[in-house]
Structure 1
Amino acid sequence: MLIYLIIILLLLTLLYFAAIMPRVFNRKDFSKFNGRYYAHRGLHSNPDKIPENSMAAFKLAVENNYGIEMDIQLSKDKVPVIFHDFTLKRVCRLNKKVRELTYDELQKLCLNQSKEKIPTLKEVLELVGGKVPLILEFKVEYTDTSVCDITAPMLENYKGTYCIESFNPLVLLWYRRKRPHIIRGQLASNLVKDKEVGSRTLFFVLQNLLLNFLTKPDFISFNYKYQKMLSFSLCKHFFHTPSFAWTIKNQESLNESMKNFDYFIFDHFIPEKILTKNNVLR
């Protein structure tokens, strides 16, 4: 009986390792992402002057040589725009979703109390112009991955360095099948503990990276607060998967995250320490 139990435990362990295994062969080259920090939704400060995901925040990040993390989703008329929340309520004080308004309707809104408008992906790509690397988070609430179909041709013509990431594994599957040369990352956090609205079963699967066997992410972008979670730790230290920390809010947290992450997304402070081109502190 004990032997059977041991065999079952071994099989379950092997299945678990197989489930969380990211890409381990023919890994992508991350060297162009080295040597800099990444400004979360641009280098924003006062939300009523330089709000998140605004052209002003992206311009400031470029001027300070920070890479940029930003969020992409579609308007009602299928224009790729840069905006984080699915709803406009927090930033634009309108209780509607981005996908419920056309681009022209979105342009009538301002970000917080500033004069900044919701930018398009095209505008941001033209502004950045390849000067700094981009981390593009695809916002897909359910199963509609048309944002990938629409933005991929635009990104193919972009001459700068970028990678894509998403909480939604369907985005990674789309890129694995249709743009396999693009670096892709699985976003994750302790979703159950964060009390996100949705299926706790699905959140358990996602936070433990149990769909990696399907999506084969090139990197894991994980909430630094939960960096000791088992699946992430195994991806980082057993499979040696490149890792992005989000979102670092102060220097102390940055220092504490150095041993478990390779790349760092920050906001609400300016990192004191400088990274070399190999992401070594000096």
Structure 2
Amino acid sequence: MKKLSWLTKRPIAHRGLHDLNKKVWENTLTAFSRAVDRNFAIECDVHLSSDRVPVIIHDGDLKRLTRTDGFVWQRTAAEMQALKVGRTKDHIPALAELLDLVRGKVPLVIELKGIAGHDDGLVEAVGAQLNKYKGKVAIMSFDHWLIRDFGKYMPDIPAGLTAYGKDSHLIEAHFSMLAHGLDFTSYAAGDLPNPFVGFVRDKLKMPVITWTIRDRPAVDLTFRYADQMTFEGFDPDKMKA
């Protein structure tokens, strides 16, 4: 297991340090710049464009964020970058733009978003960029078929399982992924505590981060059962004070 004390050192800004999409929108270069300025780690979401370029956007559907019909996998990276987010001047960034912006100033936690039938090459494309990146970076995904390729294309990058749930069938599925070289997990705070998180944290000494933290009760829950939070909508430094 890789050394990951840096992963839990500072709160992680969920999709960057946005303001809940009022003026500064999620997963934009503006939101990422604000996180860097405040020395928060950055979480972001990556999809694969039609020309096999990793681009940063949470939804597979373009409607909510760009008011445009269609899906990410139908657009080239250049077409994606031409789309404005909300009514701002920010565009959909490529992963390479984030890496160039951050340059190791704060840690990155990159979630790979799989779209069955349209994500072939996503892990390989992300790996081609991250294997050359000099800063602290980790990868994670909900999608088990992507995680199974992490070790092939990014053996030296810390790998995590993004997860939720307390039901036995979900917990069993999470346990099955431990065979694929996981280094940490990112778990839904509302589903804590549970046997999986308890085992990986207490027995395997694996870091656990939570998502998505928006208020004091969730902060308290995080630090009772996990090691760090992925937050949005408030200032963790002020809340701690």
Task: Please indicate, yes or no, whether the TM-score normalized by the shorter chain is above 0.5.
Answer: yes
Secondary structure, counterpart of 2:58 in structure 1: coil
* Aligned ranges 1:75-224 → 2 under 5 Å: 75-142=49-116, 144-190=119-165, 204-205=169-170, 208-224=173-189
Rounded to whole Å, the distance in 1 between the matches of 2:146 and 2:124 is 10
* Deviation of the 1:152 alpha carbon: 1.0
Counterpart in the other structure of 1:71: 45
Amino acid at match of 1:115: K
Cα deviation for residue 265 of structure 1 reads: 0.6
Tell me: CA distance 1:230–1:34, structure 2 relative to 1, closer, same or farther (3 Å): closer
| TM superposition shift of 1:145 | 4.1
Q: Distance in 2 between matches of 1:238 and 1:46?
A: 37
1:232 corresponding residue in structure 2: 197
Percent identical among aligned pairs is: 32
Between structure 1 and structure 2, the one with the greater Rg is: 1
Structure-1 separation of matches of 2:7 and 2:190: 23
Q: How many residues align?
A: 240
What are the Cα deviations for residues 14-45 of structure 1, in whole angstroms up to 9, with x where unaligned? xxxxxxxxxxxxx2101232421110000001
Letter in 2 for 1:170: W
SS of equivalent residue, structure 1 residue 115? coil
More contact order relative to length (CA 8 Å, sep ≥ 6): 1
Structure 2 spans left out of the alignment, 5+ residues: none
- Tell me the alpha carbon deviations over residues 86-118 of structure 1, each in whole angstroms, 9 at most, x when there is no partner: 111111122311111122322332111212100
Cα gap change, 1:253 to 1:160, in 2 (>3 Å): same
> Alpha-carbon deviation of 1:53?
0.2
Which has the larger displacement, 140-149 or 156-165?
A: 140-149
Deviation at 1:233, TM superposition (A): 2.5
Number of the residue aligned with 1:244: 209
The Cα shift of 1:155 comes to 1.1
SS for the counterpart of 2:128 is helix
Give secondary structure in 1 for the equivalent of 2:92. Answer: coil
CA contact (8 A) 2:127 2:153 kept: no
Any stretches of 5+ residues in structure 1 without a counterpart?
1-26, 193-202, 275-280
Is the aligned partner of 1:268 residue 2:233? Answer: yes
**What SS class does the counterpart of residue 118 from structure 1 fall into?**
coil
